[in-house]
Amino acid sequence: MKLIVSLSPHAHGNDTVERNMYGVIIALLPALLVSFYFFGLGSVIVCLTSVAACVFLEWAINKYILKNERNTILDGSAALTGLLLGMNLPSNLPIWIILIGALFAIGVAKMTFGGLGNNIFNPALVGRCALLVAFPAQMTSWPLPGQWLKYTDAETGATPLALMQEAIKNGNMEVLSQLPDAFSLLFADFSLNGGAGTIGEVCDLALIAGLVFMLWRKIITWHIPVSIIGTVFVLSGLLHLANPVYADPTVVILSGGLMLGAIFMATDYVTSPMTPKGQLIYGICIGLLTVIIRNWGAYPEGMSFAILIMNAFTPLINNYVKPKRFGEVPAKN
């Protein structure tokens, strides 16, 4: 029976790293389940492989290369990276390519920088972009929804973003009529032809449900998702009004990886700014870059690159954007 001492505080709230990481995974579940329904066997294999590969790689690197006493795989961050990586891939991607992606995500983007908390770039996005650059053909063939038992042999089709890019490049407005409308994108109408995409892109409503869950549990704040989506909406709206070859802004914000990126990828703790003002600046710049890359860049999808570019600016934003200090405001009556 002895007395314990330490410096104050002597109480702690309930928050833990695990609660936050597993909370994000729970927020992703609705979208994941819809995607399994959409893309069947392929999506299950891709997601499970990705999660397993990421967790295994983190365990192995921790144990054999870094020789840490405590293995960090249980805090949920490796599993989360694996899940997000999987949801950024098309569901017909062969397993060996997924493994290379996991190696880039965990090995290069996370562990070489020092593990959780020290990476500059979002690991899942580094994995995805590395694969996009290394295996462009496989990474841009999108299986059509509804083929439940097919994996690498699934039939492929165009994504809404590919259609938009074609419209802009060739001035071809008829292509835009093939686009699913906003309602279908939101509720993932099963039969649409243009509804192909990566595993996580297809059901925006499920993604928004995940956002609401995370806001309720105070895992993230509204600043990043709202600033990204708002910026893209406003800019696309202006472009659409100027020239109808640019698609309707409501369709633009609901298509491609924008929702997935704005809600789950850009809000990654480690790579986003630490102050609300900084987060708004970060979000607006991501929105701007996404619109630029989507409309005038070579790739149809600009979200991943936009986020990675802004990840590089996060330390700069953290340095110069400080929270409002108490007492900075002159006395007011």
Partner 1 sequence: MNIKTFSIGGIHPEENKLTHEVETKVANLPKQAVFPLSQHIGAPAVPVVQKGDKVKVGTMIADAGGFVSAPIYSSVSGTVLKIDTAIDATGYRKPAIIINVEGDEWEETIDRSDKLETVKDHPELTPEEIINRVKTAGITGMGGAGFPTFIKLTPPPTAKAECVIINAVECEPYITADYRLMMEKADEILVGLELLMMAAKVTTGYIGIETNKPKAIDLLTKKCAETFSASKYHVEVVPLKQRYPQGGEKQLVDAVINRQVPAPPAIPVNVGAIVQNVGTAYAVYEAVMKRKPLFERYTTVTGKRLQSPGNFLVRMGTPMQDLIEACGGMPEGDNKLLAGGPMMGKALTSTEVPICKGTNSVTIISDDEARRKEPQPCIRCAKCVGVCPMGLEPYLLAKVSEVKNWERAEREDIVSCIECGSCQFTCPAHRPLLDNIRQGKSTVMGIIRARAAKK
Partner 2 sequence: MNFMLIAVIVLGAIGLVAALVLFAASKKFAVDEDPRIAQVNEVLPGANCGGCGFAGCGGMADALVKGADAGSIEGLNCPVGGADVMSKVADLLGMAIANGEPKVAVVRCNGTCEHRPKVAEYAGLRTCAAMHACGAGETACGFGCLGCGDCMEACQFDAIRINPETGIAEVDEEKCVACGACVKACPRNIIELRKKGPKGRRVYVSCVNKDKGAVSMKACKVSCIGCSKCERECPFGAITVGNNCSYIDPEKCRLCRKCEKVCPTHAIVAVNFPIKKEEAAV
Smallest gap, in angstroms, from Cβ of residue 114 to partner 1?
8
Asked if residue 186 lies in contact with residue 240, where contact means CB atoms within 8 angstroms, the answer is: no
- How far apart CA 18 and CA 2 sit, in angstroms, is 31
- 212 or 274, CB closer to partner 1? 274
Residue 190: count of CB within 10 angstroms of its CB: 12
Contact present, 83 and 28 (Cβ < 8 Å): yes
Instruction: Find the binder of partner 1 among 20, 88, 92, 159 (CB under 8 A).
Output: 20
List Cβ neighbours of 258 (8 Å cut-off, separation of 6 or more).
228, 229, 232, 252, 290, 303
Residue 68's identity, in one-letter code, is N
Of these, 117, 136, 171, 244, which contacts partner 1 (CB under 8 A)?
117
Angle of the 123-134 helix axis to the 303-320 helix axis, nearest 10: 140
Pair 124, 54: CB distance under 8 Å: no
Question: Given candidates 8, 177, 191, 243, which one binds partner 1 under the rule CB under 8 A?
Answer: 8
Return the range that interacts with partner 1 (CB under 8 A); candidates 12-20, 45-53, 139-147, 209-217.
12-20
118 binds partner 1 (CB under 8 A): yes
Q: Which is nearer to partner 2, 2 or 325 (CB)?
A: 2
Under rule CB under 8 A, residue 3 binds partner 2: yes
- Taking the complex as a whole, the smallest distance from the CB of residue 8 to partner 2 amounts, in Å, to 9
Rounded to the nearest whole angstrom, what is the least distance from the CB of residue 77 to partner 2 in the complex? 24
The minimum distance between CB 70 and partner 2, in angstroms, equals: 16
Q: Is 9 in the site for partner 2 (CB under 8 A)?
A: no
**CA distance between the termini of the chain:** 55
Closest distance of CB 326 from partner 2, Å: 24
- Spatial CA neighbour of 71 closest among 24, 23, 117, 115: 115
| Pairing assessment for the beta strands 156-157 and 142-143 based on DSSP bridges | antiparallel
Tell me whether residue 324 is exposed, middle or buried, using C-beta atoms within 10 angstroms of its C-beta: 0 to 12, 13 to 18, 19 or more: exposed
Q: Considering CB distances under 5 to 8 angstroms, the limit depending on partner class, which of partner 2, partner 1, none binds residue 174? A: none
Nearer to partner 1 among residue 169 and residue 322 (C-beta): 322
CA–CA separation, 163 vs 173, rounded Å? 10
- How many residues lie near partner 2 (CB under 8 A)? 6
Q: Assess 331 for contact with partner 2 (CB under 8 A).
A: no
Q: Does 274 bind partner 1 (CB under 8 A)?
A: yes
Asked whether position 331 contacts partner 1 by CB under 8 A, the answer is: yes
Q: Does 4 bind partner 2 (CB under 8 A)?
A: yes
Tell me which stretch binds partner 1 (CB under 8 A): 56-64, 97-105, 148-156, 321-329.
321-329
In sequence order, which residues have a C-beta less than 8 Å from that of residue 36 and are 6 or more positions away?
A: 43, 44
Under rule CB under 8 A, which residues in 148-187 are in contact with partner 1? none
Pick the binder of partner 1 from 71, 156, 178, 275 (CB under 8 A): 275
d(CA 305, CA 293): 8
Residue ranges that bind partner 1, judged by CB under 8 A: 1-13, 15-17, 19-20, 70, 72, 75, 77, 115-118, 221, 269-270, 273-275, 322-329, 331-333
